[in-house]
Amino acid sequence: MQMKPLKFGSVKIDFPVVLAPMAGYTDSAMRTLCLEQGAGAVYSELTSAEGIRRDSKKTFQVLETGKGEHPIAGHIFGRDPQAMVEAAKQVEQMGIFDWVDLNCGCPVKKVVSRGAGAALMKDLPLLGEIIEKVKAAVSLPVTVKTRIGFNNDTPNHLEIAKVVEESGADMIAVHARLAKNFHGGDPDWEKLAEMKQALKIPIIGNGGINTPEDVAHMIDATGVDGVMIGRAAIGNPWIFEEVKGCSSAFSRLMQEQPPKGGTTSPLNRRNMMVEHLKRLVKLNELKQRDSSRPHRYTPEEAACIQFRTHIPYYVKGMFDKKVLLMKLAHFLSVDAIIEEVDILVEKNS
């Protein structure tokens, strides 16, 4: 597997294996952990252009980033071209993002029902208009995250690719499944390969990446310029460092700095969970400090509730998840969660 730095516009991603944006997961706490473990770049969570346009504090909290969190894209969605333009300008003016990414692949019903996300693949003239107007309005590079299609009766992958490129996008990231299938079924890497052949702009492949070896298989099968990892990174930020270890293009670097052995041992997972929780607490402290409304939970309690979605992935294959998750439903302190995890780590050591 040969991997070269990915360049588009003013952005250079030295290691083109990036973290996918995932609502409810890839906040600053998770993104910074993945960057430290080797991710080449990250995206903000999916952010409403209308929310940015209305200057919603809650929306802007989704765009919070950590110190040194680069390269990073401001990932926005919407269907109104003017709202997308105004949101993109705001993202650029924040001065913390390296590029603007436009979502036209999210299949979630509440997004699609607004005519946004994956729904834009059914209206390619509108998609092209949004890309053109955003590109003309900002100086940052503009990219698109999409899928190979909405369903079998709507524009196909090559039609989508053509519109994205001709409208001026600097790069495209493609999930190799139809929107109607969400994350189900096998990804269609053949269509990724066809898009790569048809495009002059770089393409990042997404979908079907579960192991470090899958990254090599995707690149060999499709020729994509980079790979995006989503759910396989939840509870497993080490996957990016493991991909580096599999990459012959980085063999010299890895000989000088070999990958840390046993990164997924129970003890290392426990320590990563502690760090993740600490960052979530800090993130909630910042959010509550910027909000004048009363809060039902303290920052620590809110962090513990949010972390419940990550825990099954951190302990996958190691602990009795059912027992642990039943107990965690009642834990609202970092110490209580870690105390329970410590018991399980000792049992599995």
- Domain segments of the chain: what residues? 6-256, 266-348
**One-letter identity of residue 312:** P
pLDDT at position 259, please?
A: 40
Q: Quick count: other Cβ atoms within 10 Å of Cβ 247? A: 20
Bridge partners of residue 175, in order along the sequence: 147, 206
Confidence of residue 67 (pLDDT cuts 50, 70, 90): confident
Mean pLDDT rounded to a whole number for the chain: 91
pLDDT tens-digit map of 5-39: 999 999 999 999 999 999 999 999 999 999 999 99
Report pLDDT digits (tens) over 211-239: 999 999 999 999 999 999 999 999 999 99
311 or 166, which is more confident: 166
- From 3.10.450.50, 3.10.105.10, 3.90.1570.30, 3.20.20.70, which CATH number describes the 6-256 domain? 3.20.20.70
Question: Is the confidence at residue 81, as pLDDT, over 80?
Answer: yes
**6-256 and 266-348 share one fold:** no
Query: Can 106 be counted among the known catalytic residues?
Result: yes
Name the active-site residue from 34, 106, 246, 304.
106
Q: Which residue has the tokens 């509108």?
A: 126
Q: For residue 343, name the pLDDT band (cuts at 50, 70, 90).
A: confident
**Rounded Cα–Cα distance for residues 260 and 331 (Å):** 32
Task: Using CA atoms of 111, 117, 119, 124 in order, give the dihedral in degrees to the nearest 10.
Answer: 150
The span from the CA of 120 to the CA of 319, in Å, is 42
CATH classification code of 266-348: 1.10.1200
Cα–Cα dist 213/185, whole Å: 19
d(CA 28, CA 44) in angstroms, rounded, equals 8
Whole-number pLDDT of residue 99: 98
Q: How many whole angstroms separate alpha carbon 136 and alpha carbon 305?
A: 41
Indicate whether 2 pLDDT > 80: no
* Calpha distance 183→288 (Å, rounded): 34
Q: For the stretch 11-32, what's the b/e string if a residue is b when 16 or more beta carbons lie within 10 angstroms of its beta carbon?
A: bebebbbbbbbbeebbbbbbbb
187 and 176 Cβ atoms separated by less than 8 Å: yes
